[in-house]
A = this chain, B = another copy of it.
């Protein structure tokens, strides 16, 4: 297997792009990444996307976007793993380069969630959950996460306000990210007063519905040493049941544990070696559960990292350093690629005011459903 490096990154601003369609967003990110890498062609394009069929009446994004980006003819396909689609596409691209099947590969995550009917987006997101055993009973995706949060609060004697630190940290970091959707800080008081969505999850526990695209260019280390921005040390996928009731323990994300452990083993690292962690904070509760299962806190203690400020830039384990899903935004199938773009920014010292000092090892983790697909990458500075 060949070592794989990232030689270029590109992203669109995350937000409500009522004037741009899927193909335009994807093209913008791809063109930026190709310019950044200094390349004019590529061997393959792997697209991460979850909802284009449901929300745009368009599948077959691989060929569509390859053509629209001026790359007609190259290998292209779409990869889907619910909200982990972006990282799943990266996983496939990484396999293609590591295995020697391709030299220069584009991985583009793209999602367009606005410019459709609001209720359609909520029902489309429920495609990530188990249709026959969860959704058919009326559970929306946020409702399933609300059940987890309620149970966590009950089990560990935690109050809703104890989660505030996750959202405050994300918004604070997004202020300095020009690509982020919400560039304003929020207060503890605003968090507590935010409108309820699915009790106990309120508006400021939740990542937004939005549009965006991000792209990375992959290539083999051996031929692209001069252009390498970051190395991929580990890439791992683990799965669990979609239906939460089918799990051993709803408050332990087994696939997060498995995916993280596989990644640590590949990289020869431990949690304490990770300098920052772009985790999947689609809802505050997912941050707490992730920090526990990934080895950064004991069971029931993940929320304390937010309460104690250990997740801030300069803290023990900085998370959501460019705003995370909460404040950069969560265009679902694009998110996993945004996380990696931001990790490269950190590892190349381009994170501006949010720079994690001396960061040479970063981890990204993209989650599909409420923990059913978990894809972890560990990246290193070159």
A78 x B77 contact (CB < 8 A): no
Contact of B50 with A237 in the complex, beta carbons under 8 Å: no
**Are B82 and A80 neighbours in the complex by a CB distance under 8 Å?**
no
Does B82 lie within 8 Å of A79, measured CB to CB? no
Does residue A33 face the partner (Cβ distance < 8 Å to B)? no
Most buried by B among A76, A91, A131, A255: A131
- How far is A260 from B373 in the complex, measured between Cα atoms in Å? 35
Residues of A108-142 at the interface with B, using a CB-CB cut-off of 8 Å, are 123-124, 126-132, 135
- Report if A315 contacts B (CB, 8 A): no
Tell me whether A50 and B57 are in contact (CB under 8 A): no
Given contacts A98-B99, A98-B101, A101-B99, contact A81 B77 (CB under 8 A): yes
A225 at the A/B interface (Cβ < 8 Å)? no
In the complex this chain forms, how many copies of it are found?
2
When A73-B239, A77-B88, A132-B21 are in contact, do A127 and B60 touch as well, CB less than 8 Å? yes
Cα-based distance from A76 to B84 in the complex (angstroms): 11
Pick from A34-42, A62-70, A184-192, A300-308 the stretch touching chain B: A62-70
Across-interface contacts of A131 in B (CB, < 8 A): 56-58
Q: Is A100 an interface residue (CB 8 A)?
A: yes
Which B residues lie within 8 Å of A246 (CB)?
67
Chain B residues near A99: list those with CB within 8 A: 1, 95-96, 98-101
Chain B hits for A75, CB < 8 A: 91, 236-239
Interface residues of A in 307-351 (CB under 8 A from B): none
Complex Cα distance, B85 from A61, in Å, reads 12
Question: Are B240 and A72 in contact, CB atoms less than 8 angstroms apart?
Answer: yes
| Inter-subunit contact B98/A66 (CB<8 Å) | no
**Structural contact, B79 and A78, CB atoms closer than 8 A:** yes
Assess whether A369 is interfacial by the CB under 8 Å rule. yes
Taking a contact as CB atoms under 8 Å apart, the answer to whether A60 and B96 are in contact is no
Q: Is there contact, CB below 8 Å, between B127 and A239?
A: no
The CA of A64 and the CA of B373, in the complex, are separated in Å by 9
Q: Is A13 an interface residue (CB 8 A)?
A: no
Query: Is A242 in the interface zone, CB < 8 Å from B?
Result: yes
Residues of A146-178 contacting chain B, CB below 8 A = none
Say whether A74 faces chain B, with CB atoms less than 8 Å apart: yes
User: At the interface, yes or no: A359 with Cβ under 8 Å from chain B?
Assistant: no
The CA-CA distance from A82 to B91 in the complex, in Å, is 21
* A132 surroundings in chain B (CB, below 8 A): 21, 23, 58
Choose from B50, B76, B129, B373 the contact partner of A239 (Cβ within 8 Å). Answer: B76
Contact B59 A82 (CB under 8 A): yes
A81 / chain B contacts, CB cutoff of 8 Å? 60, 62-63, 76-78
Q: Would A369 and B101 count as touching, CB distance under 8 A?
A: no
| Given the contacts A81-B62, A127-B57, A239 and B95 also touching, CB distance less than 8 Å | no
Interface residues of chain A, those whose CB is within 8 Å of chain B, are 1, 21, 23, 44, 50-51, 53-54, 56-64, 66-67, 72-82, 88, 91-92, 95-96, 98-101, 123-124, 126-132, 135, 236-242, 246, 254-255, 258, 368-369, 372-373
Q: Name 17 extra pairs, CB < 8 A, besides A59-B128, A67-B242.
A: A23-B132, A53-B124, A57-B123, A57-B127, A57-B131, A58-B127, A60-B80, A60-B82, A60-B242, A62-B239, A63-B82, A63-B372, A67-B240, A78-B80, A96-B99, A98-B100, A99-B101
